[in-house]
Amino acid sequence: MKQPRLPNSNRRQFLSTVSAAAAAQAWAGGGVPVASAQVATAVSSPGPGARRLVLGCQMWGSDEASLQYYQRYGVGHIMASPPKPGEDGRWRVADLLAVRERVAQRGIAVEMLPLPGLFDHILLGKSPERDRDIETICANIRAAGAAGIPSLHYNIATGIYRGPTPTYRTDLRAPGRGGTFYDTWKEADALKLADAPKERLGPPAEVMWERIEYFLKRVVPVAAQAKVRLAMHPPDPPWPRGFWGVDRVPGTFEELKRYIAIAENEYHGLLFCQGTICEMLENPAREIFEVIRYFGKRGKIFAIHFRNIRGRRGDFQEVFPDEGDIDMLAALRAYKESGCGGMVEPDHVPGKNRETIVFAYGYIRGLLQAVYEG
């Protein structure tokens, strides 16, 4: 199956106009450049109404070696490396356009960029830093919209969380197949760790919700005006209340519903990490399909981290996509039947290296062919 890409005529138009537009930027107040209407409409992918799932990747950025790697394995859509912001923390439209042009020259579409990490002050409620950082995020959303970047990814997590490993796993060396290792999380083991903090490291859950609402009600209208999808990745792994002194939200299906209900808008949704959401569930092999359909039918799934686990909430391993508890073909069919579009991406494949990720590319491509071509 050929992966969808920018049609040749549109791609030629994009490449021919982007340089001229970048040179002719008109700068608006607050240091946010405004792209010409011609470039703003030369977007590499459709808006929130997209109805096709495509093979994508967020793992390796967009350096030249990675772009060649994507070409080799038929990955036509990526989350690219963002340009370095200015001293004020803000992207320049010309720099964003340059990223799109360089990636498009390889026949690959930039579907998403990660928002710079400005969330500590926001979720800690620190003022005036909180309002300053929110305004910086809003400026970056506007710049992304002017440059035709369809989506931005962010995590709801702050630096106050710490754990036994960089990825909050209790074991990174559990034996896997063929000499690989499976990242493992067991809450019961984590509670026994000598360095588990005894002090409270964060506010109660309802205070966190107030801060999340403060943030969303300011940025979502900006995203809607800029026509940029904001895709939230849930905290990984989900924790029980007060675990390691933190109330980490959203951490359940019901809390994800609550998150999405704040500032309801078609540009406010999820980077649907299937692995993380399975980690929220007591019986993920059965329950994940309800979650997919709930958010999919509401147009809230903007991209999918397509990974598998063994286990359940509080006790799981991250495994290869073909050997976990989740029926991945049934999951992909549920996304399609729910009207989801966008990237289906490998995530947390054991080893997390280019060799093991290639296995996931082939696996996802095969499932996409089965779902769309029968």
Q: How many CB atoms lie within 10 A of CB 23?
A: 9
**In this structure, is residue 3 part of a structural domain?**
no
Residue 119's nearest CA partner among 143, 96, 152 is 152
The verdict on residue 22 lying in a domain is yes
Q: Give the torsion through C-alpha atoms of 301, 302, 306, 307, to 10 deg.
A: -70
pLDDT of 202: 75
- Asked if 345 contacts 305 with a C-beta cutoff of 8 angstroms, the reply is yes
- Write out the residue range of the structural domain in which residue 13 sits: 8-373
Note whether residue 1 is domain-resident: no
What are the angstrom distances between the C-alpha of 47 and each of 5, 79, 269, 273? 15, 16, 13, 20
| pLDDT of 110 | 97
On whether residue 30 sits in a domain, the answer given is yes
- Interatomic CA distance for residues 356 and 348, integer angstroms: 10
pLDDT of residue 165: 55
* Tens of pLDDT, residues 220-262: 999 999 999 999 999 998 888 888 778 889 999 999 999 999 9
Q: Average model confidence (pLDDT) for the chain? A: 85
Greatest mean pLDDT among 25-34, 195-204, 222-231: 222-231
Q: What is the CATH number of the domain that holds 93?
A: 3.20.20.150
pLDDT at residue number 166: 54
Tokens 């495509």 belong to 54
Predicted pLDDT at 2: 44
pLDDT at residue 67 in the model: 97
In a domain, 156, yes or no: yes
Mean pLDDT of 70-74: 96
- How far separated are the first and last CA of the chain, in Å rounded? 12
Q: Is residue 99 part of a domain?
A: yes
Query: Are β-strands 308-312 and 301-305 bridged in parallel, bridged antiparallel, or unpaired?
Result: unpaired
Convert the pLDDT of each residue in 285-330 to its tens digit: 999 999 999 999 999 999 999 999 999 999 999 999 999 999 999 9
Q: How many domains does the chain have?
A: 1
| Residue 2 DSSP SS3 | coil
Judged against a pLDDT cut of 50, whether residue 31 lies above it is answered with no
Give yes or no for a contact between 146 and 34, defined as CB atoms under 8 angstroms apart: yes
* Domain presence at residue 2: no
More confident residue, 116 or 53: 53
pLDDT at 298: 97
Residue 132: both structure tokens together = 């300053």
In this model, does residue 354 exceed pLDDT 80?
Answer: yes
- Cβ proximity of 140 and 114 under 8 Å: no
